[in-house]
């Protein structure tokens, strides 16, 4: 395992609140992975930033009568607060509009330009004579030429999902006037040049998911198209060339560069050579499947265009989208649950547990279902794990006054049980390393379940022979569980740690410590109390009702 790592997750676009879908596919898996790496002694840093530029933000800030800078500052702060409440622990959360990123983007552009990967081309753009501005992407609305739906954006029809070549009956989305067509000079990145080297990189990188690779390689085979990297708006990274007034870089040119610029800024501030660290670390970019194109083509192509001055990613864990009660999440139809809202109902660990448990390491969509949530929390988190912790510690309290007894000689069952503890770190660890967080979590639950059986089988409450060994091993298993479960549900892990009356924080331990019998006889436990409260059906029904779509479409 590389002892250095930089972890990023897709940047939250600074124009709305974080919802369950965001955290499920990217932020939570990234956070769990980072915590795991840190326990393994990896110098791992999880960096992220708000994605501040672009047309939708500009339009929305204009509507709200704010400057775009004010507008994104608000969302940057709010997103960070929401993430923190969910125990997504960034080492650094910055923004794409930072001076460091702007300078970095301009530098990258200059280098790509010098290397001959950029060219200028005149294109025809919509222009509004009334508002005196060019109208890229979402500034133009009209009728979808395919399904004839009215009032659709020029870059995407939400009704049929297609991308119109040219929208019918175009109107400026600001004033409603029909725009005219004007020439505008844009810069293009020669993505075409990188087909072969991208293909080679994809072939050689063994960590990338096979299905995603295949998908991207098909795109490459069908021929890449050069990429328009500029826009005629005012809110973005300025182009470092003469005669480019009123133009900025397109958001997808600058935002992923913030992975690098933010990491380097953070590391340099810490007194570490950021660039050197970047190039010697394992690089992880956690993303949702909607931005595969950008992360498997644009991002690596740009780095290749700089002769890999900054290392290409080693891992791009790509996960599917979250559906809600089997329907697509949609803010405009009120079919979504905000992260902040959810955390008002249940502890962060409930959601962390559930979202990891249902989330495979693949592009498959996953579904949030309120009833399923209640069942899994009640039966798995509480009935299995919470119950074992509570009965093991509670019993020790009752029968031995909280003092861990001296074990007797182990019988076969005890030895088998001890072996379970010794195998745990490797069993769970190998799954974690392969990014199978859901399976790793399941493995931990199996471990807990095994101990429920063991405890039952030994019947220590009858105080027969073997009682002391059973209690001794069970208490140690609780300690192992606390360490193993920490990356997933850190607050609860720490609670267990306190009930065990062990020093320090779980986060400071080594991963392999979970396979050691770290509690000796004579150790005095702390107070034992239930870790979790049940999810009540009546509550669930209430939250379900709040989901009723405000307006059917």
Touching RNA, residues 61-90 (CB under 7 A):
none
Question: Beta strand pairing status for 248-249 and 230-231?
Answer: antiparallel
Instruction: Identify which of residues 13 and 497 has a Cβ nearer to RNA in the complex.
Output: 13
Tell me the torsion sign for CA atoms 517, 415, 486, 280: positive
Instruction: Identify which of residues 4 and 254 has a Cβ nearer to RNA in the complex.
Output: 254
Shortest CB 38 distance to RNA, Å: 26
Site for RNA in 259-278 (CB under 7 A): none
Residues 398, 461: contact at Cβ < 8 Å? Answer: no
Q: Is 4 helix (H, G, I), strand (E, B) or coil?
A: strand
Other beta carbons within 10 angstroms of residue 190's beta carbon come to 17
Instruction: Identify which of residues 38 and 262 has a Cβ nearer to RNA in the complex.
Output: 262
Site for RNA in 366-395 (CB under 7 A): 367, 372, 375-376, 378-380, 382-384, 386-387, 390-391, 394-395
Main-chain phi, psi angles of 67, to 5 degrees: -75, 150
Site for RNA in 113-142 (CB under 7 A): 136-138
H or E, element range at 230 = strand 230-231
The DSSP letter of residue 13 is: B
Q: Is 8 helix (H, G, I), strand (E, B) or coil?
A: strand
- Distance (Å, rounded) from C-alpha 112 to C-alpha 327? 43
Shortest CB 64 distance to RNA, Å: 17
Tokens 């009032």 found at = 151
Question: Rule CB under 7 A: is residue 543 a binding residue for RNA?
Answer: no
- Distance (Å, rounded) from C-alpha 124 to C-alpha 170? 14
Question: Rule CB under 7 A: is residue 55 a binding residue for RNA?
Answer: yes
Shortest CB 443 distance to RNA, Å: 11
Question: Rule CB under 7 A: is residue 160 a binding residue for RNA?
Answer: no
Instruction: Identify which of residues 142 and 383 has a Cβ nearer to RNA in the complex.
Output: 383
Instruction: Identify which of residues 42 and 208 has a Cβ nearer to RNA in the complex.
Output: 208
Tokens of 529: 């109390």
Shortest CB 521 distance to RNA, Å: 19
- Distance (Å, rounded) from C-alpha 194 to C-alpha 220? 9
x-or-dash string of contact with RNA, 181-220, rule CB under 7 A: ----------x-------------------x--xx--xx-
Question: Rule CB under 7 A: is residue 530 a binding residue for RNA?
Answer: yes
Question: Rule CB under 7 A: is residue 29 a binding residue for RNA?
Answer: no
For every residue of 281-332, DSSP letters joined together read: SEEEEEEEGGGHHIIIIIHHHHHHHTTTSSPPPSB--EE--EEETTEE-BTT
Shortest CB 276 distance to RNA, Å: 29
Selection from 172, 186, 62, 183 nearest residue 128 by Cα: 172
Shortest CB 329 distance to RNA, Å: 11
Query: Which one of 197, 244, 268, 449 is in contact with RNA (CB under 7 A)?
Result: 449
Site for RNA in 291-320 (CB under 7 A): 291, 293-294, 297
Shortest CB 378 distance to RNA, Å: 7
Region from 68-76, 104-112, 153-161, 519-527 binding RNA, contact rule CB under 7 A? 153-161
Question: Rule CB under 7 A: is residue 31 a binding residue for RNA?
Answer: no
Other beta carbons within 10 angstroms of residue 452's beta carbon come to 17
Question: Rule CB under 7 A: is residue 11 a binding residue for RNA?
Answer: yes
Query: Which one of 17, 43, 89, 155 is in contact with RNA (CB under 7 A)?
Result: 155
Query: Which one of 457, 498, 536, 544 is in contact with RNA (CB under 7 A)?
Result: 457
Residues 154, 218: contact at Cβ < 8 Å? Answer: no
Question: Rule CB under 7 A: is residue 453 a binding residue for RNA?
Answer: yes
Shortest CB 122 distance to RNA, Å: 14
Question: Beta strand pairing status for 180-189 and 118-128?
Answer: antiparallel
Shortest CB 416 distance to RNA, Å: 14
Shortest CB 126 distance to RNA, Å: 12
Query: Which one of 81, 169, 203, 290 is in contact with RNA (CB under 7 A)?
Result: 290
Shortest CB 94 distance to RNA, Å: 16
Instruction: Identify which of residues 43 and 228 has a Cβ nearer to RNA in the complex.
Output: 228
For every residue of 115-177, DSSP letters joined together read: TT-EEEEEEEEEEETTTTEE--GGGEEEE-TTT--SSEETTB-TTT----SS-EEEEETTT-P
| Number of chain positions touching RNA (CB under 7 A) | 74
For every residue of 513-524, DSSP letters joined together read: GGGS----TTPB
Residues 417, 475: contact at Cβ < 8 Å? Answer: no
Instruction: Identify which of residues 90 and 277 has a Cβ nearer to RNA in the complex.
Output: 90
């Amino acid at each position: 395992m590389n002892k250095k790592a930089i972890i990023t997750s897709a940047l939250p676009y600074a124009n709305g609140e974080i919802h369950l879908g965001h955290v499920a596919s990217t932020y939570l898996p990234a956070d769990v992975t980072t915590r795991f790496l840190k326990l393994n002694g990896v110098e791992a840093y999880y960096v992220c930033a708000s994605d501040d530029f672009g047309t939708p933000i500009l339009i929305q800030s204009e509507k709200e009568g704010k400057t775009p800078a004010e507008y994104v500052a608000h969302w940057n702060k709010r997103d960070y607060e929401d993430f923190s409440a969910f125990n997504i622990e960034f080492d650094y959360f910055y923004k794409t509009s930072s001076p460091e990123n702007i300078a970095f983007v301009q530098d990258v552009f200059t280098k790509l330009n010098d290397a001959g990967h950029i060219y200028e081309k005149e294109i025809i753009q919509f222009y509004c004579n009334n508002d005196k501005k060019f109208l890229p992407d979402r500034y133009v609305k009209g009728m979808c030429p395919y399904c004839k739906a009215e009032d659709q954006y020029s870059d995407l029809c939400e009704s049929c999902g297609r991308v119109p070549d040219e929208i019918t009956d175009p109107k400026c989305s600001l004033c409603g006037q029909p725009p005219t067509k004007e020439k505008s000079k844009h810069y293009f990145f020669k993505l075409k040049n990188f087909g072969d080297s991208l293909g080679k990189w994809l072939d050689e990188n063994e960590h990338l998911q096979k299905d995603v690779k295949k998908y991207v390689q098909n795109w490459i085979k069908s021929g890449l198209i050069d990429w328009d990297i500029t826009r005629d708006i005012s809110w973005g990274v300025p182009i470092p060339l003469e005669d480019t007034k009123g133009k900025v870089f397109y958001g997808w040119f600058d935002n992923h560069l913030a992975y690098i610029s933010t990491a380097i800024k953070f590391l340099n501030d810490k007194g570490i050579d950021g660039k050197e660290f970047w190039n010697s670390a394992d690089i992880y970019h956690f993303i949702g499947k909607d931005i595969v194109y950008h992360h498997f083509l644009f991002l690596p192509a740009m780095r290749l265009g700089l002769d890999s001055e900054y290392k290409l990613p080693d891992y791009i864990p790509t996960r599917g989208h979250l559906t809600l009660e089997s329907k697509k999440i949609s803010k405009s139809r009120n079919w979504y649950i905000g992260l902040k809202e959810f955390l008002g109902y249940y502890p962060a660990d409930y959601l962390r547990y559930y979202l990891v448990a249902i989330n495979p390491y693949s592009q498959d969509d996953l579904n949030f279902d309120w009833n399923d949530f209640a069942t899994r929390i009640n039966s798995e988190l509480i009935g299995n794990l919470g119950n074992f912790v509570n009965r093991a510690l509670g019993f020790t309290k009752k029968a031995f006054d909280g003092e861990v007894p001296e074990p007797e000689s182990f019988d076969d069952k005890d030895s088998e049980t001890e072996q379970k503890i010794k195998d745990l770190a490797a069993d769970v660890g190998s799954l974690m390393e392969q990014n199978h967080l859901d399976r790793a979590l399941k493995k931990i639950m199996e471990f807990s379940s095994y101990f429920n059986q063991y405890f039952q089988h030994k019947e220590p409450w009858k105080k027969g022979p073997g009682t002391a060994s059973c209690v001794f091993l069970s208490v140690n298993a609780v300690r192992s569980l606390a360490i193993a479960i920490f990356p997933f549900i850190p607050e609860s892990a720490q609670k267990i740690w306190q009930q065990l009356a062990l020093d320090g924080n779980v986060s400071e331990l080594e991963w392999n410590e979970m396979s050691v019998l770290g509690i000796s006889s004579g150790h005095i436990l702390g107070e034992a109390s239930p870790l979790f409260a049940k999810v009540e059906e009546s509550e669930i029904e209430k939250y379900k009702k709040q989901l009723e779509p405000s307006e059917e479409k």
